Amino acid sequence: AEATAITEEEKELDPDGTYAGFSRVDFVKFVLDWQGSVVEVSSCQFRNVVAQIKLLNPNVELNLSGLDEEKEV
């Protein structure tokens, strides 16, 4: 393993050195896992909001077609 000097900017961004020992592969895996968690939580929260809207507006029919698809905005 090649030792890399830690820059002042890196020390400022990661003062505890949590990520100092990460390889690029480890870091990419960490970021992708975190990204998946964020998407999962956001989806759950969105479904909860839709359920609340339906509960508070029982006489309104919501068009939910296509909401399960991932779309780029």
Query: What are the domain boundaries of the chain?
Result: 24-73
Tokens representing residue 13 in the block: 């961004």
Provide CB contacts within 8 A for 6, sequence distance 6+: 17, 20
Is residue 20 within 8 Å of residue 6, measured between CB atoms? yes
Is the pLDDT reported for residue 52 higher than 90? yes
Mean pLDDT of 56-67: 87
Q: Is the whole model's pTM more than 0.75, yes or no?
A: no
Residue 55 pLDDT greater than 90, yes or no: yes
C-alpha 25 chain-centroid distance? 18
5-44 pLDDT per residue, tens: 678 888 888 888 887 788 889 888 988 888 888 888 888 9
Residue 68 pLDDT > 80: no
- Residue 61 DSSP SS3: coil
The pLDDT, as a whole number, for residue 62 is 86
* Helix (H), strand (E), coil (C) string for 57-70: CCCCCCCCCCCCCC
